[in-house]
Amino acid sequence: MKAVYTWAFILAIIVFGSAGDVLQAYSMKRVGDLGELRKRHGFFAMLARIFQTPTFFIGIGAMALGFFSLLLALSWADVSLVAPASASLTFMANAFAARVFLKEKVDVRRWIAAACVAAGVALMAI
């Protein structure tokens, strides 16, 4: 039963973490190039533009839920399982979500890159 709870929380970390990343990416694409915005319209106009984007705050909320799921997962299982499993699977989930929701062209090269980084992160966290 403990293993079921652990993997349920790992799944929650992956889902909320990926949702947070995808929502932040979506928000920033809607806002536009921050460097150009700051140059043309000033720092405060750039900040105002970010804060007028509701998905930015939903993304932060999703990231916060991901963080609390991590804390809960760590109270059930060892960090040596939770950290590599969640970090590496989040990389793959992000590639999938970016393709589906952000319409990014995830070609073979990007899948290989995501898989290499996921494997590397898993190895480093063991």
Interacting residue ranges for other proteins, rule: CB under 8 A: 21-22, 24-25, 28-37, 40-45, 49-50, 75, 91, 94-95, 98-99, 102-107, 109-110, 112-117, 119-126
75: its two tokens: 């109270």
Task: Indicate the SS3 state at residue 90.
Answer: helix
Least distance CB 50 / other proteins (angstroms): 7
Nearer to other proteins, 10 or 121 (CB): 121
Burial of 67 (0-12, 13-18, 19+ CB in 10 A): middle
Nearer to other proteins, 10 or 27 (CB): 27
How far, in Å, CA of 91 to CA of 21, rounded?
10
